[in-house]
Amino acid sequence: MEFFHPVTDFLSSLRWLYLPEIFLPKQSAAFVEPSIPRVNEAGLRLIKLSEGYRAKPYYCAGGICTIGFGTTMDADFKPVTMGHPTINLEIATELFERDIAIFSAGVLEDVKVEINDNQLSAMTSLAYNIGQCAFSSSTLLRKLNRGDYQGCASEFWKWRRADGRILSGLVKRRALEKELFLS
């Protein structure tokens, strides 16, 4: 019968720290480290095309003050207001890239199943548009995390409303997101 001894077992696990690299166990050739999905160019184009670029603040269809490529927070993470100064394309792109990194990290944190770059890109586009909280509590995410990829894809169309109205721009965006998700 083997007994667990916390101090001895802990110390023996540390022995690898003191041995030269050649004595460390080798990973088998069959072991492949899983790659982390990334938002790809198709996803970035989809979001930029859907959001458009505006140098001056404006209210989006959902009534939120926005600037650049749909950014709602300025460089200091303060909410954009109508009194916010105009921004050029370079600053808008920097804010966009920052926001995409934040939203894609949020999506990756919420997703518990394996996804590819296209799926991450489509869901990041959705989260960028509806907000991370709405994405995190969505049926779309619950279906995905149950392994129902087709069911997840069928949920994109449900997010085509702003202030209770179906908007043609959101209908097109959701169709593009679904197509990207399934490709």
Query: What is the distance between the alpha carbons of residues 51 and 44, in angstroms, rounded to a whole number?
Result: 11
Q: N- to C-terminal Cα distance for the chain? A: 53
Phi, psi of 58, rounded to the nearest 5 degrees: -155, 165
- Catalytic entry in 2, 51, 65, 133: 51
With left for phi above 0 and alpha for psi between -120 and 50, is residue 163 left, alpha or beta?
left
41 is catalytic: no
| 3-state SS, residue 141 | helix
User: Under a CB-based contact definition with an 8 Å cutoff, are residues 168 and 109 in contact?
Assistant: no
Tally helices (H) and strands (E) across the chain. Answer: 8, 4
Q: Which of 60, 65, 94, 179 is flagged as catalytic?
A: 60
Active site residue 60: yes
Asked if 152 and 139 touch (Cβ cutoff 8 Å), the reply is: no
Where in the sequence numbering do the catalytic residues fall? Answer: 51, 60
